[in-house]
Amino acid sequence: MEYDQSVIVPESYKVLISEKEIQKRLQELGEQITRDFKGKTPILIGILNGSFIFLADLIRYINTDLEVDFIRISSYGNGRESSGHIKILKPLSADINGRSVLVVEDIVDSGLSVQFLRKMLEAFNPVELKFVTLLNKPEKKKVDVSIDYVGFDIEDKFVVGYGLDDGQMKRNLRSIYYIEQE
């Protein structure tokens, strides 16, 4: 049985991807990433805050040595639309020069964050720079970005849970929900 979190799930939240479906897909992604990065000791860079749970679960499905680092950027403020103004709130700590890098995103929406991160990280001369995202909204792209690994393509709906926030809360929900408009 799935762990009951109903006391913190509002009525307007509907399950989009269940806890079980997420874990099943992570295992598949982990196997693919393991094959592609075998022997390369990649550095995985989680984009805070949204990706922290995805990264924590994903790396436990990856069977090769790896390192972990984080960057924090902001594009949204506390709203639900990308502002397009991206700020670095916590820079990279690791030296990625000559390394294989896998950037770990929670969700790719307009693509502006990924475009910004690619440009910024390429300047440090990694030998390889790939992106994995748990969720992707194909309809919302403002710029053309290529993502190497996508967990789930989803419709253009605002989603929360599993690291993704609704006004900074609900990150601790185990499934991914969309919010039904009142």
Please say whether the dihedral angle defined by the alpha carbons of residues 115, 60, 90 and 78, taken in this order, is positive or negative: positive
Could you give the CA distance from residue 69 to residue 101 in angstroms, rounded to a whole number?
A: 10
92: CB partners within 8 A, 6+ apart: 45, 69, 71, 121, 124
Contact yes or no for 153/141 (Cβ under 8 A): no
Nearer CB in complex with ligand IMP: 40/118? 118
- Residue 82 binding partner per list Mg ion, ligand IMP, none, with a CB distance cut-off of 5 to 8 Å that depends on partner kind: ligand IMP
Q: Which of residues 58-77 bind ligand IMP (CB under 6 A)?
A: 75-76
Selected binder of ligand IMP within 33, 62, 105, 162 (CB under 6 A): 105
Contact yes or no for 107/50 (Cβ under 8 A): yes
Could you give the CA distance from residue 175 to residue 115 in angstroms, rounded to a whole number?
A: 28
Q: Catalytic pick from 65, 106, 109, 165?
A: 109
Task: Residue 170: count other Cβ atoms within 10 Å of its Cβ.
Answer: 20
**Site pattern 133..172 for ligand IMP (x: CB under 6 A):** -------------------------xxx---x--------
Check residue 111 for interaction with Mg ion (CB under 5 A). Answer: no
- Strand duo 13-17 + 176-179: pairing: antiparallel
Contact yes or no for 98/73 (Cβ under 8 A): no
Could you give the CA distance from residue 61 to residue 29 in angstroms, rounded to a whole number?
A: 8
Would you call 109 a catalytic residue per the annotation? Answer: yes
**Site pattern 106..135 for ligand IMP (x: CB under 6 A):** xxxxxxxx----------------------
Nearer CB in complex with Mg ion: 36/148? 148
Q: Which of residues 21-50 bind Mg ion (CB under 5 A)?
A: 50
Query: Minimum distance from CB of 74 to Mg ion (Å)?
Result: 9
Residues belonging to the active site: 109
Given the rule CB under 6 A, which residues bind ligand IMP? 50, 75-76, 82, 105-113, 158-160, 164
Given the rule CB under 5 A, which residues bind Mg ion? 50
